[in-house]
Amino acid sequence: MQGIEAVSEYYAGRRVLVTGYTGFKGSWLSLWLQKMGAKVLGVGLEPPSVPSMNKMLDLDSVIPGARIDVNDYAALADAVQTFKPEVVFHLAAQALVRLSYEMPLETLHTNIMGTAHVLEACRHCPSIRAVVIITSDKCYRNNEWVWGYRENDPMGGYDPYSASKGCAELITSSYIKSFFNQEEYGKTHHVALASARAGNAIGGGDWGKDRLIPDCFRSLHDRQLIHIRYPSAVRPWQHVLECLSGYLLLGARLLDEGPKFGCGWNFAPIDMGDVWSVERVVQRICDLWGTGGYEVDKGTQPHEAHMLCLDCTKANIELGWRPRYRVHQALAETVAWYKEWSERPAPEHMRQFTLKQIQNYIDCSVNLPD
C-alpha cells in the first residue's frame, strides 16, 4: 500500500463507526470517510462547543449519527451490535486540558472507562476487523526534554486529561495482549487494534474552549486582542488532516495486514523546524489574517507541559506516513478556512470548502525536509 492516495479503496463501501463525530477532529474524519465512499455511523454527544463545526456545516444532515454517551455501556454496545461496523475510530473524549482541572472525574470517566466500553463493545461484535483508539501526545510521561517521545517511552500524565490518555493507552495495550493478540488472530478473534498519539491539531472548524487556535479566531472575529497564556511553550503543530491521514492509513494497514500493526503510533511533524512556540504561531496567524494583535496573560495558570515533541520515525518507516504540510502551510489553510467562513458561512458552501481542503491535502506532494 502506498500513502494516503491509495487508502480510499480500503474504506469505500465499508461500515465505519466514528465516536466523537460531533467534535472538531470527528467532523473532519467523518466527512473524509464519507468522501471515500464509507458508510459512516457517528456516535457522540451534542457538539462540545458553540459554535461548532458540526452545526456550521450542518453535518447532521449528511452524516448518520446517534447521540450516545460512551459512559453508557448498554446503549453503546447496542449501537455497535446494530450497525455492525468493520472499522472503528474512537475519538470521543473530554479533550481539553484546562477543563480536566475543573472536571477531573468526568474527564477520567469518559476518557478511561469510555475507552474501555468501546473496546468491550468491539470485543462482542463479530463484524469488527480494525479498531483505532485516538489518545494524545500527552499520554507520555513528560520529562520536559527536547527529544521527541517514542512509542516505547513510559506513559504518564501530570493533569487529569493527560493521565486519562495515558490510562486509555494502558487499557488499549491490555486489550491487544489479552483479547486481540497476534497468536489468536484468525482463530479466536479477527480484530486488529492500535492506538494513535498525535499532537496539537490545527485547522478550520475548531471552537474548543481555551485552545489556542479557536481563541485566536474568536478574538480576531470580535476585533479583540488575543490573550495567550504560555507564549514560549513549544508544540508539534500539525494540520488536522495530517493526523487524520495517519489514523486512516493505520486503519487501512490493520484491515490489510492485521495485528502486525497492532500497537501505538505517533503522528507529528517530522521536521523540527515545524515545532514552533505559541507566540510565533499567534504572530503568524495575525499576519495571515491581516489585522490583530496579542497580549500575554500575566495571571497564574494551571500546569501545562512546556516542551512536548513526538518522534514519528516508526510511522514514517513502517506505515509509510509522512506529513505533507509545513507549519506555515498548515496555518495558511487554517486561516483560509476561518476567513471563508467569516465571508460565506452557509453550511453547504462550508461543507464544499472543507471537502476542497481535504482534496487539496490529498493532491499535495509529500513534504520532505529542506
Ligand X SMILES: NC(=O)c1ccc[n+]([C@@H]2O[C@H](COP(=O)([O-])OP(=O)(O)OC[C@H]3O[C@@H](n4cnc5c(N)ncnc54)[C@H](O)[C@@H]3O)[C@@H](O)[C@H]2O)c1
Q: List contacts with ligand X (CB under 6 A).
A: 20-26, 44-45, 48, 69-71, 91-95, 110, 114, 134, 136, 198, 200-201, 208
Who's near 51: CB < 8 A, 6+ residues apart?
Answer: 207
Q: How far is the CB of 103 from ligand X (least distance, A)?
A: 11
Q: How far is the CB of 5 from ligand X (least distance, A)?
A: 24
User: Which residue shows C-alpha cell 453508557?
Assistant: 72
Nearer to ligand X, 23 or 160 (CB): 23
Tell me the longest C-alpha to C-alpha distance in the chain. Answer: 61
Nearer to ligand X, 200 or 266 (CB): 200
Nearer to ligand X, 1 or 62 (CB): 62
Euclidean distance between CA atoms 159 and 273, whole angstroms: 28
Q: How far is the CB of 110 from ligand X (least distance, A)?
A: 4
Nearer to ligand X, 164 or 219 (CB): 164
**Could you check whether the bond before residue 51 is cis, i.e. omega within 30 degrees of 0?**
yes
At 348, which helix (H) or strand (E)? helix 347-363
Q: Which amino acid is it at 45?
A: L
Q: How far is the CB of 24 from ligand X (least distance, A)?
A: 4
Q: For residue 103, give the C-alpha cell.
A: 472536571
DSSP three-state, residue 312 = coil
> Any idea what the Cα angle at residue 142 is, between residues 168 and 209, rounded to 5°?
65
Closest CA to 131 of 167, 168, 157, 162: 168
Closest residue to ligand X in the complex (CB): 23
Nearer to ligand X, 47 or 259 (CB): 47
Nearer to ligand X, 136 or 142 (CB): 136
Euclidean distance between CA atoms 27 and 19, whole angstroms: 10
Q: How far is the CB of 305 from ligand X (least distance, A)?
A: 12
Q: How far is the CB of 148 from ligand X (least distance, A)?
A: 15
